[in-house]
Amino acid sequence: MKEADRIWMNGELVDWADAQVHVLSHGLHYGSSVFEGIRAYRTDEGPAVFRLEDHLARLERSAAIYQMPLPYGRAELRDAVHEVIAANGLSDGCYIRPIAWRGYGVMGLYPLDAPVDVAIAAWEWGAYLGEESLRSGIRAKVSSWRRIGSSTIPATAKAGGQYLNSILAKIEVSKGGYEEALLLNEAGYVSDGSGENLFLVRAGALVTPPPQASILEGITRATVIELAHEEGIPVVEREVARAELYAADEVFITGTAAEVCPVREVDDHPIAAPGPITRRLQERFFAAIVGRDRRSAGWLDTVVMPAPAPAGGSTG
């Protein structure tokens, strides 16, 4: 990863190398953490964070599910995100990772007596699945691992431990030469990618699995649904059978890391990518995140960067 200079940790900026935790932290042993993945993009007004409020709201919801009281309020966390971007001079945009975890002091599975620590890091991170994949699509494969279900681990929380499920799926398909894993839920219907939501296009309409299909309710997914409505593209949230992916006119995945990424193969079945609807939604999305769409204003939170140091040394 591309290191930045400073990380916000429990209320203060520390050097990147000093952002350490104790080896007996609860979160490290049991996955008792909640986190967000957020992006900021370069705009004409400076770096702007995409849907920051919505991400922080989801962090709060994830923490609430695990009864993890966040020691900082929404406004403090928003300020901290701005501070991290400014302190690291990330004018060209970045990936932002706020994380809250059960800290050091208590072992065993009852977590409520352990402290809650919070950190926010930001660094430059390009296209998650590669620039080329945004243009020509990825090869995806349905993993033999089923996605965690609402009766095991709530998929609607973005908690550290649940990503072991995604990791198993990602390892399996990567070793098979595919770029991304798709997971079926316990009922055998399509759920999510390892770190993305999924859409297919059938007869001019978008189809995407509903929250009860054990998806993470993605903010990029919500964005694409809103943009589709604006474009007059019908959106249907319903269960999706695996073989529907093979017969789809278009398939794409969405996520903060992966953005809006076409899928050109599922289980070795070729799919035209990017199809016209994927391309239209990609265009709207990529315009929105850099401040060039009529919806941008409501979604972007611009960071005020420190004034550059005057060039040329002493003015005498």
Ligand X SMILES: Cc1ncc(COP(=O)(O)O)c(C=O)c1O
The contact set with ligand X (CB under 6 A) reads: 37, 158, 166, 192, 195-197, 216, 218-221, 254-256
Question: Shortest Cβ distance from residue 28 to ligand X (Å)?
Answer: 20
β-partners of residue 193 are 182
Q: Is 158 a catalytic residue?
A: yes
Kindly name the residue from 2, 141, 158, 175 that is annotated as catalytic: 158
Report which secondary-structure segment, H or E, holds 64.
Answer: helix 52-65
Of all residues in the shown chain, the one whose CB is closest to ligand X is 218
State how far the Cα of 192 lies from the Cα of 63, in Å rounded to an integer.
21
Judged by CB, which is closer to ligand X: 114, or 266?
Answer: 266
Judged by CB, which is closer to ligand X: 137, or 218?
Answer: 218
Question: Shortest Cβ distance from residue 309 to ligand X (Å)?
Answer: 35
Contacts of 26 (CB under 8 A, 6+ apart): 32, 101, 102, 103, 104, 105, 106, 107, 111, 114
Report which secondary-structure segment, H or E, holds 97.
Answer: strand 93-102
Question: Shortest Cβ distance from residue 37 to ligand X (Å)?
Answer: 5
DSSP string, 191-260: EEESS-EEEEEETTEEEE--GGGT----HHHHHHHHHHHHTT--EEE----HHHHHH-SEEEEEETTTEE
State how far the Cα of 96 lies from the Cα of 99, in Å rounded to an integer.
10
Question: Shortest Cβ distance from residue 221 to ligand X (Å)?
Answer: 6
Judged by CB, which is closer to ligand X: 50, or 86?
Answer: 50
Contacts of 229 (CB under 8 A, 6+ apart): 235
Judged by CB, which is closer to ligand X: 64, or 167?
Answer: 167
Question: Shortest Cβ distance from residue 145 to ligand X (Å)?
Answer: 13
Judged by CB, which is closer to ligand X: 254, or 278?
Answer: 254
State how far the Cα of 170 lies from the Cα of 291, in Å rounded to an integer.
33
Count of other CB atoms within 10 angstroms of residue 272: 15
Catalytic machinery residues: 158
